[in-house]
Amino acid sequence: MTTFDDRERSYETKFALDAELRFKAEARRNRLLGEWAAGLLGKEGDAVRAYAMTVVTSDFEEPGDDDVYRKLAGDLEGRADEKTIRTKMVELMIEAKKQVIDEAR
């Protein structure tokens, strides 16, 4: 095996790991968003977990974050504006990435 083959395999492995971590971080962010939104909606207990899962599954509708935003914007109408929701999405993505990386260590 050549050094080139080793390097290629290494890049492929890193790409796969990065994709897996990105997927986990996005799912975690969406769960955290669901928990945040559930609080704004006055949900408690098991209803928080159930609502958070609807936010997580809303991300499977199309690539990108717009499907999650639309879900939250529709559910939080009158409780949170676009800027608030999008800011929270960014904040919780940072938090989700930290959590996923810490768990991977």
Query: CA–CA separation, 17 vs 19, rounded Å?
Result: 5
How many helical (H) and strand (E) elements, i.e. helices and strands, does the chain have? 4, 0
Residue 15: HSE in the Cβ half-sphere, 13 Å Cα cutoff: 6
Cα separation of 41 and 101, whole Å?
30
What structural domains does the chain harbor?
23-104 (1.10.790.20)
Read off the pLDDT band of 94 (50, 70, 90).
Answer: very high
Q: What mean pLDDT value characterizes the chain?
A: 91
Two tokens, residue 39: 């609080």
pTM for the predicted model, two decimal places = 0.86
Do you know the residue count of the chain? 105
Q: Please state, for a pLDDT cut of 90, what percent of the chain lies above it.
A: 72
Contact 76/38 with Cβ under 8 angstroms?
no
- Dump pLDDT digits (tens) for 43-69: 999 999 999 999 999 998 888 899 999
